[in-house]
Amino acid sequence: MSEPMVLIVDDEPGLLRLFSGLVERLNCRILQARNGSIAMDLLDQETPDLLILDLAMPEISGFDVLQYVRSIPRLDVMKVMILTARPNQVPEIEAMGIDCWVSKPVMPNDFLDIVQDLLSAN
């Protein structure tokens, strides 16, 4: 079996590095996007096993990226994990068929456990 591919999208460089470093421990192929536009470009070319998506980003938000993902049938198999510092947005995103959401800040071990669970469900 090939290594799982994970796309991590966050506009905060420090968090993007942190989350990427954590997911690397799980022997995954990691794609990074620092904004929604880059994420959508990558999703046009790749079909990751898991999308880890920050909601609050300038210009093209995580919500916009999620709407884009849901418009592409090929991406239906992809798991989606939402990162948010605003849990009040959760009901709206849950209605779009996400696999889980995590409130920021998140403890590294908790984050890794969730990612591992999502990847093993594939």
Q: What ranges in 25-120 are assigned the alpha helix state H?
A: 36-45, 62-70, 90-94, 108-120
Buried b (16+ CB within 10 A) or exposed e, 38-48: bbbebbeeeeb
For the chain, domain boundaries: 5-120
- Mean pLDDT (whole number) for 70-86: 94
CA triple 78-79-83, angle to 5 deg: 130
State yes or no: pLDDT of 96 exceeds 90. Answer: no
| Residue 50 amino acid letter | L
Looking at residue 1, what is its pLDDT? Answer: 55
> Per CATH, the architecture of 5-120 is what?
3-Layer(aba) Sandwich (3.40)
| Cα–Cα distances in angstroms (integers) from residue 87 to residues 95, 102, 107, in the given order | 14, 9, 16
DSSP character at residue 107: -
Model confidence at 45: pLDDT above 80:
yes
Beta bridge partners of 8: 32, 52
What pLDDT, on a 0 to 100 scale, did the predictor assign at position 41?
98
DSSP designation for 61: -
% residues pLDDT > 70 (the chain): 98
